[in-house]
C-alpha cells in the first residue's frame, strides 16, 4: 500500500511526464473522437460536436440531479427528504450526445484518448471550483472485478489518477475498496436501487480528517456515491465532494 507521502512523490514524478506526453499531441493531426471528422486542435472534438455538449446547468445543489426549474439554488425532493452522505456532486455535463459516445468509448472500449478528453472537458468547467482548490486527497469509486478483467481499464481510477496529477494532490489508491460486487441496478425499483450498494465499500484510515474528491465517471442514481461517501465519513473523512463527467436523471 502506498502512503500519502509516497503517493505525492509518484504524482511529482509522473505529473510532468504526463503533461509532456500530452503536449506532444499538439504536433500530431487528429480526428474528432465522436464523429471522426479531421480536427486541427488538441481537443479531439470537432467544433460541431463541441457545440452539441449538453451542460447540467440547472440541477440540485447537493446531488446534481437535473431539474426543470432554472433557479440555481434548489435541492431536489430526494435530498430534502433524505440528505445524502456526500457534501456535493459536481457533474457539469448531462449524459447525452455527444458525451455519451465518449463515455462509452472510454468505459467499454478502454479508449484512453476519450478519457483524456473527458478530463479536459471536466477541468474546463471545474478548474476554479473551491472544492477542487481545497481538496486534500482523491479517491475513486472502485470498479467491479469482473468488468475490470473484461475491459482492462478502471475508468474512475484512471480519471482520478490524472486529476490528482493536475491538482498536485495524492490519489489514495487504497483509500476506498469494494468488498462485494453490486448486482445490476437496471431492473430494480427506485427504493431498491438506492439500497443496492449498501455495505459494498470499505475505506482505509488514510482518509481520516481529509477533504476528499470522490471520482466517478457517470452519476446515475447517486446511490453508489452515497454509500461510498458514508463509509468514507465513517472512517473520518472531513468532507466528500463527488466529481463526475456526467449526470443522468434518476
Interface residues with Zn ion (CB under 5 A) are 32, 34-35, 37, 46, 49, 60, 62-63, 65, 76, 79
Q: Which three cell numbers stand for residue 63?
A: 446531488
Task: Say which DSSP state 66 is in.
Answer: B
The residue (of 14 and 35) whose beta carbon lies closer to Zn ion is 35
Q: How far is the CB of 22 from Zn ion (least distance, A)?
A: 20
Q: Where are the alpha helices (DSSP H) in the chain?
A: 4-24, 47-51, 77-81, 99-107, 112-126, 130-134, 145-151, 155-167, 190-195, 223-234
* Exposure of 51 in the CB half-sphere (CA atoms within 13 A): 3
Q: How far is the CB of 54 from Zn ion (least distance, A)?
A: 15
Q: Which three cell numbers stand for residue 163?
A: 486529476
Q: Which three cell numbers stand for residue 152?
A: 482492462
Q: How far is the CB of 114 from Zn ion (least distance, A)?
A: 12
The residue (of 60 and 140) whose beta carbon lies closer to Zn ion is 60
Q: Which three cell numbers stand for residue 171?
A: 490519489
The residue (of 35 and 238) whose beta carbon lies closer to Zn ion is 35
The residue (of 172 and 219) whose beta carbon lies closer to Zn ion is 219
The residue (of 57 and 127) whose beta carbon lies closer to Zn ion is 57
Q: How far is the CB of 250 from Zn ion (least distance, A)?
A: 9
Q: How far is the CB of 122 from Zn ion (least distance, A)?
A: 19
Tell me the C-alpha distance between 241 and 58, whole Å.
Answer: 18
The H or E element spanning position 177 is strand 176-178
Residues in the chain: 250
Across the strands, what pairs with 240? 212
Amino acid at each position: 500500500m502506498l502512503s500519502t507521502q509516497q503517493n505525492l512523490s509518484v504524482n511529482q514524478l509522473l505529473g510532468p511526464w504526463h503533461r509532456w506526453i500530452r503536449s506532444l499531441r499538439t504536433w500530431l493531426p487528429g480526428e474528432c473522437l465522436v464523429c471522426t471528422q479531421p480536427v486541427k486542435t488538441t481537443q479531439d472534438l470537432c467544433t460541431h460536436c463541441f457545440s452539441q455538449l449538453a451542460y447540467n446547468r440547472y440541477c440540485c445543489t447537493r446531488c446534481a440531479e437535473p431539474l426543470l426549474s432554472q433557479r440555481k439554488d434548489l435541492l431536489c425532493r430526494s435530498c430534502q427528504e433524505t440528505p445524502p452522505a456526500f457534501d456535493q456532486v459536481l457533474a457539469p455535463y448531462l449524459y447525452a450526445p455527444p458525451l455519451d459516445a465518449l463515455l462509452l468509448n472510454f468505459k467499454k472500449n478502454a479508449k484512453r484518448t476519450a478519457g483524456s478528453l473527458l478530463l479536459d472537458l471536466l477541468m474546463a468547467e471545474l478548474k476554479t471550483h473551491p472544492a477542487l482548490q481545497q481538496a486534500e486527497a482523491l479517491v475513486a469509486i472502485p470498479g467491479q472485478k469482473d468488468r475490470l478483467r473484461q475491459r482492462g481499464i478502471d475508468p474512475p481510477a484512471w480519471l482520478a489518477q490524472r486529476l490528482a496529477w493536475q491538482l498536485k494532490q495524492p490519489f489514495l489508491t487504497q483509500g476506498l475498496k469494494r468488498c462485494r460486487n453490486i448486482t445490476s441496478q437496471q431492473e430494480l425499483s427506485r427504493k431498491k436501487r438506492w439500497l443496492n450498494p449498501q455495505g459494498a465499500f470499505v475505506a482505509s484510515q488514510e482518509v481520516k480528517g481529509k477533504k476528499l474528491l470522490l471520482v466517478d465517471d457517470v452519476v446515475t442514481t447517486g446511490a453508489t456515491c452515497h454509500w461510498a461517501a458514508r463509509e468514507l465519513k465513517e472512517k473520518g473523512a472531513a468532507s466528500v465532494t463527488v466529481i463526475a463527467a456526467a449526470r443522468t436523471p434518476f
